[in-house]
Chain A
Amino acid sequence: MYDDDDKLMEAASALVAKGIRVKDVFSPFPVHGIDPIIGVKRTRLGIVAFMFATTGTTLALLGMWYFMISDWPMNIGGKPSFSLIENLPAFIPVTFEFSVLCGAHGMAITYLLRNGTLPGMPATNPDPRTTDDKFVIEITTEQNALSAAEMETAIKETQLFELSIKDYE
């Protein structure tokens, strides 16, 4: 556990240099630049959002075509209800809004699901202080070739604030 993001960074890089695989990092705020060091890949949520948005667009256009042109065409103020393209100008606002709606919500929901952050989920951070001002590097022996002792020394070399060793069978 560290009490400053800079120390955390240095420590992380040092450990990784030693070939220690960092399982995870807990921090009270996004520490920029930590991801590549501990090997977290860039998220693909953006693409998800785009996919949802395009779905929205299609749905909106299809819907309006069905409502206004196909299912029950009406003479409203003499406006053309003969084909989608003629009537399109009036449909643009709703199309846009609906795309945004789907995009935003679709993405948000995916995000929460992937995180597993949902109402009633238990907190999994090892130490409550990590949401305040402390930073934790989580290292497990399973994932590492090095023995616990070696790792401990390695960690001790960093500007450590606190070290807790839990073993759970």
Chain B
Amino acid sequence: MANTKRYWSGLDELQETEAFKTIQEQEFPGAQSVDEFLTDDRLESTHTGRRDFLKFMGFSLTAATLVACETPVIKSIPYTNKPEEITPGVANHYASTYYDGQDYVNVLVKTREGRPIFVKSNAQTGVGRVNARVNASVLSLYDSARLTAPQVDGADSDWATVDQRVSTAMAKEGRKVLLTNTVLSPSLKRAIATTGLEHVQYDAIDYSAFVKASEMNFGVATFPSFKFDAATAIVTIGADFLGTFGDSVYYAENWAKNRKPENGSMSRMHAFETNMSLTGSNSDYRTMVKPSEQGKVATALLQAITGQGGSSSLPEAVQAAVASAAQDLKKAGSKGLVLAGSNELDVQRVVNAINSALGSVGTTVTYDGTDLFKGSAGAVQSLTADMQNGGIEMLIIADCNPAYDAPDADKFVAALAKVNTTVSTSMFNDETASRCSIIAPTHHWLESWGDLAIDRYRIDLVQPTISPLHASRGWGESLLTWTGNAVDWYTFVRQTHASDYTSEAMYTNADWNKSVHNGFLGWNEQVPETPAYRSEGVADAVGRLNSQVGGTFELALYQKTTMGAGQHAANPMLQETPDPLTKVTWDNYVTMSHADVDAMGLNGFIGQEKPASVVKVTLNGASLELPVFPMPGQAPGTIGIALGYGRGANGETIGKAAFQTGENGSFLTDSEGQMVPVGKNVHPWMNVSQGMSHTHQFDVQVESTGGEYALACTQIQNTFMGRDSIVKETDFTSFFAERNADKGEASWNKVIKLAVHEDVNGDGIINAQDAKPAEAFDLWHEHAVENVGHRWGMAIDLTTCTGCSACVTACHIENNVPVVGKDEVRRHRDMHWMRIDRFFASDYSLERGEEEGESVIGTYRKMEDPSGNPQTVHMPMMCQHCNHAPCETVCPVAATTHSNEGLNQMTYNRCIGTRYCANNCPYKVRRFNWFNYPGYKKFANFNPAQDSLMRMVLNPDVTVRSRGVMEKCSMCVQRLQAGKLEAKKVGAPLVDGSVVTACAEACPTHAITFGDLNDTKSSARLTSENNRAYHALEEVGVKPNIFYMTKVRNVEPTQA
């Protein structure tokens, strides 16, 4: 029965009076205007009594207060119609390829809700891994300093104007030049060809001597490809191939393949170098040589192997080292590999001679035409000259920054003014762009389509993972537009590989889609033919090298593993990632041997409040003032300075993190009110001769200025004080002898025993020999951890860990670790969840102290000093997820507890911040939020969380921690949960390797194995049962879930 009831809201409505009708008609009764209201004379008669007034006041005050109490709500806008490939909360991965003129990697880009937030290596191609630089490059996408629109004559403009200006310029007579770094993209090459522009290539770090040498000696103008996995003896003369030399991202993984002692053999590595480099610190034998001696080392090797090296004057120590190196090379024969980092033609020729003499050409070093490093310093020099004398009508500078890193950059800058039309395609208004009349900003690599070919075997694809953030345009497309070629870039790229392609077929071509999915297009394996060797000009090269002499101080410029040649200067994460050797952040500096430091009376120890001494380095007229870092392993009589710093010296807007900030977070300014860049630029000090630029200067003057400058180190104690339960190492021979020993039995990895007051060994007397293994001691009946669900754990191989710090940046990005800036790092408050402890060996030990009758105090003092040319250990250190975690016990509010999956969980929102847990952590891995990093002004200029745009890079799966709480490695618990969910969805048990932590994923050498220790077949479990596996600080009895693998050096036992 229908409802006939009628509801009325008042008698008026019931009786339907006129008044009611009128009101009902006008839903909103006519608003009275303010003047009308105020001028209403009846207003006078109305009044608000004092009491009422106070009531209102009181009410509104309370109301205001209450409202103020509410925590700020950040609104998130849901998709109106959801893109079908995106599920909110679930990450998508896209294959792409990274190339910045130096590093070349096949990558997978992780996106969340359409935002790229993480870059990892693309396992599918099987070659190349990310390094710290590639890993952190995702930040540059969100750099708020990026140009949002094209610029004409320094003012914002639009593409129409730009295109019009440039096209007219293109139409003009005269030389029109395109200046780029080495171009690897077939499509770009094709585009350039269509424009008819004169194409000049150069590289920030010049390798033209390599190319030239291979051309002379092997007839192929190409950068050699090194096969470290095939080599059993590697001799590197100043080539930091694990850090920054050549295609280092690829080399590292490749090198590690033959550094696994379990294989029964290891390559042996000799390093002759000036600065302590990543490679040197990982070599088995390291010899310190001056830059002027590096050539002689090469000739001496040649002499030892072929007898054609002539005679040179090398110190005995070096000669001996060369001899042993030569011996190993001979033993290795065609499996030997010699490489030199120097870009001097002579050196490279000699090296080629050695390799061909060894017969290693074709096995460990091949010349099968990689397209890397086709740039030439000479070309830029001549271009500069032509520009200077007005010979250039138009210059398009694409995707490179010659004003900063070209040889003779200052000359180039001067000449730039002489060019009528200058176009830059830089994303930033950087050193070069700011001097160009037109800026046509290109896409970030994460925004653009493209293709890349490093060699003739494979074509890799670049696909956009986000639509362009700003009004930018790929420079390839710009070139096409300017030459009236109307095709869009995507089509152009497709047509490069399939000429019959038409945009109709955009989505239909299955092969193409598969290629895009995989990240590469086609792959034809070929056996490279071994080119014949022509010993061209080696003899005179030898002569010249043997006659090289250096001054009192020689300079070796180098690149930091974290900063490269300077492309990443504005990347706060890379700036904060400590240099793997010096552990200094946010600066470059002069590295000097302790001997020289003491001789010059400079500060030999850099502490929190102990700044570095400043010296004045002078090179033919020009001089720089830089702080001195006392560097173990630096060749006496030499200094090293890192390239890639001092970006934005004229205050160019290249990103906030490129400039120094003071203790209050505001930018430091010099006398002219100019922002002070981080570090000093030493690119102008590259040694340019015969059209090649290399990093050696044989004679610089160094004098103390008496000034002081604070350096921010994350580690101020250099040695591990003989605490061999933290670091265990051995030599390969001893390892091999006991390779089958049970875990805990081998002499190089004995289980740690503690003496007890009972006759354990049953010899009738109770003495120090009566000891039980550490894990036998337990005060209580513990929680079961074996065989109850998962138990996440890791095994970290100290043998293959190179200390490259890729894991540090990976962890940094994955877990939203705040960037805290130089001042806080100096105060020893870096926030890295994952750090790499770098330990130098000391000459001194407790044993030696006893022998020499030195007092204990004195011995310990001496043990704090690393030796002149120390052996180095790189030890990744993060939360050990102890099963008997001391941090958990002491938390008053149970904010950190143990999960039933073996994780040491940190509950941020329960933490009250007593810091007791941090004090009680034997590994000191807990990090405290000293300030409100995402909000406090001190961090406004570099912490990504405080930049409205860069905030986009934050991982939505990980909380941004608030002020006053403790944080630490969570073993990427967000990934574990996601992985378990996946497994649950397919209804199968979790497969080993399907979940992996950010650090393990990033490690180029696969030194970190992550997995479920309760899964008897998991690789982590197996590795942890390996007889090299041990727990750091085992005797403390905290029962960690992280294992370390004894470091094995391939050295003779006597030297171990």
Binding site for B on A (CB under 8 A): 74-82, 86
Q: Which chain B residues border A75 with CB–CB below 8 Å?
A: 783, 897-900
Known: A78-B884, A79-B783, A79-B889. 8 other contacts (CB 8 A): A74-B894, A74-B897, A74-B898, A75-B897, A75-B898, A76-B894, A79-B780, A79-B782
Q: Which chain A residues border B888 with CB–CB below 8 Å?
A: 76-77
Give per-residue flags for B454-481: 1 if the beta carbon is below 8 A from chain A beta carbons, else 0: 0000000000000000000000000000
Q: Which of A77, A81, A86 contacts B884 (CB 8 A)?
A: A77
Contact B889 A76 (CB under 8 A): yes
Main secondary structure of the interface of B (DSSP, over half): loop
Binding site for A on B (CB under 8 A): 780-783, 785, 882-889, 891, 894, 897-900, 1039
Pull 26 A–B residue pairs with CB atoms less than 8 Å apart, ordered by A: A74-B894, A74-B897, A74-B898, A75-B899, A75-B900, A76-B888, A76-B889, A76-B894, A76-B898, A77-B882, A77-B886, A77-B887, A77-B888, A77-B889, A77-B898, A78-B780, A78-B785, A78-B884, A78-B898, A79-B782, A79-B889, A80-B780, A80-B782, A81-B783, A86-B780, A86-B781
Nearest-Cβ distance from residue A85 to partner chain B, whole angstroms: 11
Nearest-Cβ distance from residue B1051 to partner chain A, whole angstroms: 40
Give the most central of B781, B783, B785: most A CB within 10 Å: B783
Nearest-Cβ distance from residue A86 to partner chain B, whole angstroms: 6
Expressed in whole angstroms, the Cα–Cα distance for A79 and B783 within the complex equals: 7
Q: Which chain A residues border B785 with CB–CB below 8 Å?
A: 78
Q: Which chain A residues border B886 with CB–CB below 8 Å?
A: 77
Q: Which of A76, A80, A82, A86 contacts B897 (CB 8 A)?
A: A76
Expressed in whole angstroms, the Cα–Cα distance for A109 and B157 within the complex equals: 83
Shortest Cβ distance from B888 into A: residue? A77
* Closest 9 pairs (CB-CB, A-B): A77-B889, A75-B898, A77-B888, A78-B884, A78-B782, A75-B783, A76-B888, A74-B897, A77-B885
Nearest-Cβ distance from residue A75 to partner chain B, whole angstroms: 4
Nearest-Cβ distance from residue B832 to partner chain A, whole angstroms: 24
Nearest-Cβ distance from residue A41 to partner chain B, whole angstroms: 47
Nearest-Cβ distance from residue B955 to partner chain A, whole angstroms: 27
Q: Which chain A residues border B882 with CB–CB below 8 Å?
A: 77
Shortest Cβ distance from A82 into B: residue? B781
Shortest Cβ distance from A67 into B: residue? B894
Expressed in whole angstroms, the Cα–Cα distance for A78 and B1037 within the complex equals: 12
Expressed in whole angstroms, the Cα–Cα distance for A81 and B888 within the complex equals: 13
Q: Which chain A residues border B894 with CB–CB below 8 Å?
A: 74, 76
Expressed in whole angstroms, the Cα–Cα distance for A74 and B899 within the complex equals: 9
Expressed in whole angstroms, the Cα–Cα distance for A80 and B782 within the complex equals: 6
Nearest-Cβ distance from residue B898 to partner chain A, whole angstroms: 4
Nearest-Cβ distance from residue A114 to partner chain B, whole angstroms: 38
Give the most central of A76, A77, A82: most B CB within 10 Å: A77
Q: Which chain A residues border B891 with CB–CB below 8 Å?
A: 76
Expressed in whole angstroms, the Cα–Cα distance for A80 and B779 within the complex equals: 10
Q: Which chain A residues border B897 with CB–CB below 8 Å?
A: 74-76
Nearest-Cβ distance from residue A78 to partner chain B, whole angstroms: 4
Shortest Cβ distance from A81 into B: residue? B783
Expressed in whole angstroms, the Cα–Cα distance for A103 and B782 within the complex equals: 36
Expressed in whole angstroms, the Cα–Cα distance for A20 and B510 within the complex equals: 121
Give the most central of B781, B891, B1039: most A CB within 10 Å: B781
Expressed in whole angstroms, the Cα–Cα distance for A74 and B885 within the complex equals: 13
A78 and B900 in contact, given A86-B780, A86-B781 (Cβ under 8 angstroms): no
Expressed in whole angstroms, the Cα–Cα distance for A74 and B781 within the complex equals: 14
Q: Which chain B residues border A86 with CB–CB below 8 Å?
A: 780-781
Give the most central of A75, A76, A78: most B CB within 10 Å: A78
Nearest-Cβ distance from residue A57 to partner chain B, whole angstroms: 22
Expressed in whole angstroms, the Cα–Cα distance for A74 and B898 within the complex equals: 8
Nearest-Cβ distance from residue A121 to partner chain B, whole angstroms: 37
Q: Which chain A residues border B883 with CB–CB below 8 Å?
A: 78
Nearest-Cβ distance from residue B882 to partner chain A, whole angstroms: 8
Q: Which chain B residues border A76 with CB–CB below 8 Å?
A: 888-889, 891, 894, 897-898
Shortest Cβ distance from B891 into A: residue? A76
Expressed in whole angstroms, the Cα–Cα distance for A78 and B884 within the complex equals: 5
Expressed in whole angstroms, the Cα–Cα distance for A86 and B782 within the complex equals: 10
Q: Which chain B residues border A79 with CB–CB below 8 Å?
A: 780, 782-783, 889
Expressed in whole angstroms, the Cα–Cα distance for A61 and B348 within the complex equals: 79
Nearest-Cβ distance from residue B903 to partner chain A, whole angstroms: 10
Nearest-Cβ distance from residue B1036 to partner chain A, whole angstroms: 13
Give the most central of A75, A80, A81: most B CB within 10 Å: A75
Expressed in whole angstroms, the Cα–Cα distance for A75 and B889 within the complex equals: 9
Shortest Cβ distance from B904 into A: residue? A77
Nearest-Cβ distance from residue B440 to partner chain A, whole angstroms: 60
Expressed in whole angstroms, the Cα–Cα distance for A74 and B884 within the complex equals: 13
Nearest-Cβ distance from residue A67 to partner chain B, whole angstroms: 10
Shortest Cβ distance from B886 into A: residue? A77
Expressed in whole angstroms, the Cα–Cα distance for A3 and B188 within the complex equals: 116
Shortest Cβ distance from B900 into A: residue? A75
Shortest Cβ distance from B778 into A: residue? A78
Expressed in whole angstroms, the Cα–Cα distance for A74 and B894 within the complex equals: 9
Expressed in whole angstroms, the Cα–Cα distance for A126 and B900 within the complex equals: 73
Expressed in whole angstroms, the Cα–Cα distance for A74 and B896 within the complex equals: 10
Expressed in whole angstroms, the Cα–Cα distance for A81 and B782 within the complex equals: 9
Expressed in whole angstroms, the Cα–Cα distance for A78 and B781 within the complex equals: 9
Nearest-Cβ distance from residue B441 to partner chain A, whole angstroms: 54
Expressed in whole angstroms, the Cα–Cα distance for A137 and B456 within the complex equals: 119
Q: Which chain A residues border B783 with CB–CB below 8 Å?
A: 75, 78-81
Nearest-Cβ distance from residue B902 to partner chain A, whole angstroms: 10
Expressed in whole angstroms, the Cα–Cα distance for A58 and B886 within the complex equals: 29
Expressed in whole angstroms, the Cα–Cα distance for A136 and B998 within the complex equals: 86
Nearest-Cβ distance from residue A92 to partner chain B, whole angstroms: 15
Contact B885 A80 (CB under 8 A): no
Q: Which chain A residues border B1039 with CB–CB below 8 Å?
A: 78
Q: Which chain B residues border A81 with CB–CB below 8 Å?
A: 783
Expressed in whole angstroms, the Cα–Cα distance for A74 and B1039 within the complex equals: 18
Nearest-Cβ distance from residue B421 to partner chain A, whole angstroms: 70
Q: Which chain A residues border B781 with CB–CB below 8 Å?
A: 80, 82, 86
Q: Which chain B residues border A82 with CB–CB below 8 Å?
A: 781
Q: Which chain A residues border B889 with CB–CB below 8 Å?
A: 76-77, 79
Expressed in whole angstroms, the Cα–Cα distance for A78 and B902 within the complex equals: 10
Nearest-Cβ distance from residue B890 to partner chain A, whole angstroms: 8
Shortest Cβ distance from B890 into A: residue? A77
Nearest-Cβ distance from residue A91 to partner chain B, whole angstroms: 14
Expressed in whole angstroms, the Cα–Cα distance for A82 and B784 within the complex equals: 12
Nearest-Cβ distance from residue B334 to partner chain A, whole angstroms: 55
Nearest-Cβ distance from residue B233 to partner chain A, whole angstroms: 48
Q: Which chain A residues border B780 with CB–CB below 8 Å?
A: 78-80, 86
Nearest-Cβ distance from residue B1037 to partner chain A, whole angstroms: 10
Expressed in whole angstroms, the Cα–Cα distance for A81 and B898 within the complex equals: 12
Nearest-Cβ distance from residue B917 to partner chain A, whole angstroms: 10
Give the most central of B887, B891, B894, B899: most A CB within 10 Å: B894
Q: Which chain B residues border A74 with CB–CB below 8 Å?
A: 894, 897-898
Nearest-Cβ distance from residue B739 to partner chain A, whole angstroms: 33
Expressed in whole angstroms, the Cα–Cα distance for A81 and B886 within the complex equals: 16
